[in-house]
Each structure stands twice: as structure tokens, then as C-alpha cells.
């Protein structure tokens, strides 16, 4: 039996190679997975031309996934450095990598990335348009913008952020409801500018059926972009954000009729007390479609530490319905992240995702923690390092300050509660001041 996309296969009861891979990874029954996919609650981004892919699922009842952003810019165009980041992200088992390149030989870098990556690959085609055509934004035609999408699809991109929700109607809502930070979405701001400069409708909205033609042909998952996401906590959950979400709701239904898989993006910077309601709002308005969030960043005062502000928001968001976390690095708002920034961002996002999986009762999520607790009870340092989320850092800290009693650490020494409880439970003397017998 033939199928066009993973969603189409799920509706027809065809267990594709990708569906079987995800079911095994998630310890989920294949028929249950296909049911969720057929309803749009789970996506498996898997472009037909991405041959290296090890498929991952995103959505309801699955482990929370994380995405790593990288790519070249005009100010930082070192392709080899970005490829080093790719290798590190793959080594650290990030489930997705988004190439946000916006300058120079973007296709050359994208092709290398897709050829080497088992992680799913995402892009934002509007970022590439100016460099792709070597034209100023105003002079790029609607047809040319659509052609960039097709080029990325041909190259093997698994999911694309398409800012189709910032149409003329949404733009009017924005104009009537001024914001402190206006738009901070790069893609959203570019399309808003294009619309104003050309006095035209957003081509991704106007020609959304053309976008669907491309995505259906190559099985590209659409990540409906959050052009109106808030760039500071003052702008969160405002009319512009909610209006765009309503538009994305309608576009998701149109995509599903064509068997095109959909994720919804949001919501940016947001105070802690608004996160749960925002997750519920998205799930309600967008028919339980997978939710892909940046952050939410829960305070605006921490440049250099936004991997932490984001992880706090991400854990809460994922515990209340978000399915996919876009990592944030310490360099957010300051510069292009370097290799260490990227590593710190991945670790922070993975901690947030795992904490949410525990809260959500995801099958097997607690096994990792139980393994760590077992190693700690035994004071088995090699095992502790082995099961750490960052073994290298854990071992480095340990070795930088060694205790007299090698079983303990320099925080407590022989007063270590674990050491002493083990001895007491075994009927042994504790011997804090003297050597053991």
C-alpha cells in the first residue's frame, strides 16, 4: 500500500520503518503510536531525502525532545566551527538540530549537516532568502520565497519553521496593541517588514496550499512559527500572541487534511505563573498538536545565564503539555554561541526535559534516576560518573578535591551520611575520628 507522508501511513495502518523505530525508542505499542499520529497529536519529522535519519517522535505521551540551534551568520561564518558543534550535538544525543544559517554558502553547510546527522534537521527558510537570491528583502518575490522552501525540502530538511500566522489581520491586532519589545522573532519580523514594504499579504499565508504541496511531496513537517512570541515578560499572553495562535489553529487543520504533519511554536518570554495556562491554551486551540517552545524564559534580567532561565520555564512547560524544547544557551541575547555555550545549553535543556518526563510519568523516565541513587548508595564513583548527564564535568569536580576517605567527598568526609548509614546498617562501627578497623 502506498503512502505520501508518515501521517498518511499512520491513517492507513502502515507501520513504516520510522514508525517502528519510534515505537521501539518510546516503548510504545505501534498501533497506539499510529493512532496518535493519525490525530495530529504526534509527529515523526522524516524527510524522504534524509537518509541518515534515526527517527524521533514528538508529541503527546512521548519523551520530551530537545532541539539545538546553530548555523553561520555574516559576523560568524566559520563553517568548520559550526560542523564541530554539529558533531558535539550528535555526541550529546540531541534529537534535533536547527540550521539557522543566514549568510553565505548556506546550502553547502546544510547539505553537509543533513548528510552526517542522525538527528532530525530543521530550518527557517525565510532566514536564507536574502542570501539565497542576493537581494534586499523588499525585492524578493512571493514566488521566490516559496522556491526557498522547496529547495530546503529537496535537500532533506525534516521540519521547517513557517511563519504563516503573521497575516494582515494579525498585524492589525499588533498595531492596535503596542508592545514594549515589538517582534523578536527574526522570521516574524522579516515577514512583517516584507508585508509592509510591499503592501502585500504574507505569502506563506496567502499561498499556504502551495506550501502544503511541497511539504506533502517530501514529507516535511511544518513547524508553524510564533512570529508574535513575546520578547519580554511584559508582552506575554497579549492579543497579538493569542490572535496568531488562533490562526495557527486553522492552518493546522488545513495541513492535516493534506496529511502534512504539524507542530505549533511558542511562546517566548513569560512569567512562571502564566506558563501552565499558556500550555493549556495552545493544546485547546490547536487540537492537541505537538507544542514546540523556546524557553519559556521566565525573567529578563539574566544575560549570560539564560540557559537557566529557559530550563526553569522549559521544565514547567513540558510538565504541562509542551512536547519539544528549543535549547537556549548562556550566549542568548549576547552573541553566537561557541562550543561550550552549546554544551551548557544542551545540558540545561536535557535536565528540563527529563524532569518533565518524570513529572508526566513517561515510561522508563525514573529508571535513570533510580540507577543514580543506587550508585550513590553504594558510593560507587565510577558508576556515578557513568550515569551522570555530564560525566566529564562530574569527574572533573570530584578529582579537583579528593578526601582522606576515598569513598566520601570533601563536603562531609567521614561524616558522610551515606557512608555512615551503610556501616550502621551492616552492623559496623562508624569511626569518624579514627581509621577503620
Residue 152 marked in a binding site: no
Question: Taking the alpha carbons of 145, 146, 151, 156 in that order, is the dihedral positive or negative?
Answer: positive
Which residue has 551522570 as its cell numbers? 388
292 labeled part of a ligand binding site: yes
**Three-state secondary-structure class, residue 128:** helix
Residue 250 CA, chain-centre distance (Å), reads: 23
Provide the 8-state DSSP code for 234. G
Distance CA 256, CA 406 (A): 59
Is there a binding annotation on residue 371?
A: no
366 a known binding residue?
A: no
d(CA 316, CA 321): 9
Is 185 labeled as ligand-binding? yes
Using DSSP bridges, classify how beta strands 96-99 and 221-224 pair: parallel, antiparallel or unpaired: unpaired
354 labelled as ligand-binding? Answer: no
Element (H, E) at 204: helix 203-206
> Is 179 annotated as contributing to ligand binding?
no
Strand partners, 107: none
The set of cell numbers assigned to 1 is 500500500
Ligand-binding annotation for 163, yes or no, is yes
Per the annotation, does 409 bind a ligand?
A: yes
| Pairing of the two strands 58-59 and 42-43 | antiparallel
Q: Is 426 annotated as a binding residue?
A: no
In 3D, which of 428, 209, 229 has the Cα closest to residue 326? 229
The answer to whether 228 is annotated as binding is yes
Half-sphere exposure of 106 (CA within 13 A, CB side): 28
Measured between alpha carbons, how far is 249 from 256 in angstroms, rounded to an integer?
11
333 is in an annotated binding site: yes
What pairing do the DSSP bridges indicate for beta strands 96-99 and 65-70? parallel
Q: Determine the 3-state secondary structure of 131 from DSSP.
A: helix
- 234: CB partners within 8 A, 6+ apart: 179, 180, 181
Cα separation, 207 vs 288, whole angstroms? 25
- Does 98 appear as a known binding residue? yes
Length of the chain (residues): 437
Radius of gyration of the chain (CA): 24
The answer on whether 419 is annotated among ligand-binding residues is: no
> Which residue ranges are tagged as binding site for substrate?
69, 98, 127, 163, 185-187, 226-229, 265, 292
Binding residues for [4Fe-4S] cluster: 409, 412, 416
* Binding residue ranges for Zn(2+): 269, 333
- Extract the annotated binding site: 69, 98, 127, 163, 185-187, 226-229, 265, 269, 292, 333, 409, 412, 416
Amino acid at each position: 500500500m502506498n503512502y505520501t507522508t508518515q501521517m498518511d501511513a499512520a491513517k492507513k495502518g502502515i507501520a513504516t520503518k520510522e514508525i517502528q523505530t519510534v515505537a521501539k525508542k518510546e516503548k510504545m505499542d505501534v498501533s497506539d503510536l499510529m493512532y496518535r499520529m493519525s490525530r495530529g497529536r504526534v509527529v515523526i519529522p522524516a524527510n524522504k531525502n534524509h537518509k541518515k535519519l534515526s527517527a524521533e517522535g514528538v508529541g503527546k505521551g512521548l519523551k520530551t525532545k530537545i532541539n539545538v540551534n546553530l548555523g553561520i551568520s555574516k559576523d560568524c561564518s566559520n563553517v568548520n566551527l559550526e560542523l564541530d558543534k554539529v558533531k558535539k550535538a550528535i555526541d550529546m544525543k540531541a534529537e534535533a538540530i536547527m540550521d539557522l544559517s543566514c549568510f553565505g554558502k548556506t546550502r553547502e553547510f546544510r547539505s553537509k549537516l543533513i548528510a552526517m546527522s542522525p538527528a532530525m534537521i530543521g530550518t527557517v527558510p525565510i532566514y536564507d532568502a536574502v542570501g539565497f537570491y542576493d537581494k534586499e528583502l523588499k525585492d524578493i518575490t512571493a514566488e521566490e520565497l516559496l522556491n526557498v522552501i522547496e529547495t530546503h525540502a529537496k535537500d532533506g530538511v525534516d521540519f521547517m519553521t513557517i511563519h504563516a500566522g503573521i497575516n494582515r489581520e494579525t498585524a492589525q491586532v499588533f498595531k492596535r496593541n503596542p508592545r514594549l519589545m515589538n517582534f523578536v522573532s527574526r522570521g516574524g519580523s522579516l515577514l512583517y517588514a516584507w508585508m509592509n514594504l510591499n503592501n502585500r499579504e504574507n505569502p506563506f499565508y496567502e499561498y499556504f496550499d502551495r506550501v502544503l504541496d511541497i511539504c506533502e511531496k517530501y514529507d516535511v513537517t511544518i513547524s508553524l512559527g510564533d512570529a508574535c512570541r513575546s520578547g519580554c515578560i511584559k508582552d506575554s499572553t497579549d492579543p497579538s500572541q493569542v490572535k496568531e495562535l488562533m490562526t495557527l489553529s486553522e492552518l493546522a487543520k488545513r495541513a492535516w487534511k493534506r496529511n502534512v504533519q504539524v507542530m505549533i511554536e511558542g511562546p517566548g518570554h513569560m512569567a512562571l505563573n502564566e506558563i501552565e495556562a499558556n500550555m493549556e491554551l495552545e493544546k485547546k486551540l490547536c487540537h492537541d498538536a505537538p507544542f514546540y517552545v523556546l524557553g519559556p524564559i521566565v525573567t529578563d534580567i539574566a544575560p549570560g545565564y539564560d540557559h537557566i532561565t529557559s530550563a526553569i520555564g522549559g521544565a514547567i512547560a513540558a510538565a504541562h503539555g509542551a512536547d519539544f524544547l528549543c535549547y537556549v544557551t548562556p550566549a542568548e541575547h549576547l552573541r553566537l554561541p561557541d562550543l561550550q555555550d552549546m554544551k551548557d545549553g544542551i545540558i540545561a535543556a536535557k535536565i528540563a526535559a527529563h524532569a518533565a518526563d518524570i513529572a508526566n510519568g513517561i515510561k522508563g523516565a525514573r529508571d535513570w534516576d533510580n540507577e543514580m541513587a543506587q550508585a550513590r548508595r553504594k558510593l560507587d564513583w565510577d558508576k556515578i560518573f557513568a550515569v551522570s548527564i555530564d560525566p566529564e564535568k562530574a569527574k572533573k569536580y570530584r578529582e579537583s578535591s579528593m578526601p582522606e576517605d576515598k569513598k566520601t567527598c570533601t563536603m562531609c568526609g567521614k561524616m558522610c551520611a551515606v557512608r555512615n548509614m551503610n556501616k550502621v546498617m551492616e552492623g559496623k562501627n562508624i569511626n569518624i575520628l579514627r581509621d577503620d578497623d
